[in-house]
Amino acid sequence: MKLTAPADSAPVPVRDSLASRIGAWSRCQAARALVRRALDLQVTGVENVPERGPAILVARHYHHLYDAAAILANVRREVHVLVALDWLGGGWRLAVMRWLAAAARWPVVWRRGRACRINREGYRASLNLLNEGRVLLIFPEGYPNVDPLGTPKQQPDEFLPFDPGFLVLAERARCEVPLVPVGLRYTRRAAGGWRACLRFGAPVSYARDRQGGRRAALAVLESAVRDLSEPPVCPG
């Protein structure tokens, strides 16, 4: 879909330090190593991710670990991942993960319970990234299908309704933010492990004043992600 809404202003790029660039490169290399070891991966449509400027990757959430790794390993730009940490509960593990997320500039949210301060910080961090012209990966379902700690999804290929929070970020960013739907499909290999298909769709324009507004845009993105995750995309 062609982007038509006028931008309010241009993003303000921030020059990364050497340490930040080395960190981004290291995370990408780690993701590639994990994907090579764990997945038989097919990727299509990665050219749909804008080469510059802000973007939100709106992705299906199927596997708690491999989804983000597959995307980080194949997008040519640095990708910042919105991560949920409520599964850690508290204590030193949560403190360490929050420190690591802050170092990577990965926004943190809390999916359940009372954690207003953490979610406000995650919202501000996400908006800052978009205003700097960066790529943000969001899983609007909130929960994966495969998770060692359990999931509210009852069926192997179940989708949860998308949370509209990513549209709020697109509305409030200083410039237009393309929304790139990302489909994921996994099947078990006979020899063990996973065969996966990762497919990036064409960017979707979100105009906050368009008829239907947020509800219509949410339906469009959810439908696109579902279609990109359908079995015909990944034969075999």
Q: Are 176 and 7 in contact (CB under 8 A)?
A: yes
Is residue 6 assigned to a domain?
no
| Predicted local confidence at residue 128, as pLDDT | 96
Is residue 3 assigned to a domain?
no
Is residue 214 assigned to a domain?
yes
Is residue 118 assigned to a domain?
yes
Is residue 213 assigned to a domain?
yes
Domain range enclosing 219: 18-233
pLDDT tens for 53-107 read 999 999 999 999 999 999 999 999 999 999 988 877 778 878 898 899 999 999 9
Is residue 8 assigned to a domain?
no
CATH of residue 72's domain is 3.40.1130.10
pTM, two decimals, is 0.90
**The pLDDT of residue 228 is above 90:** yes
Is residue 89 assigned to a domain?
yes
The total number of structural domains that make up the chain: 1
**Which phi and psi angles does 182 have, rounded to 5°?**
-130, 120
pLDDT tens for 188-220 read 988 888 999 999 999 998 876 555 688 999 999
Give the separation between CA 225 and CA 26, rounded to whole angstroms. 29
Is residue 35 assigned to a domain?
yes
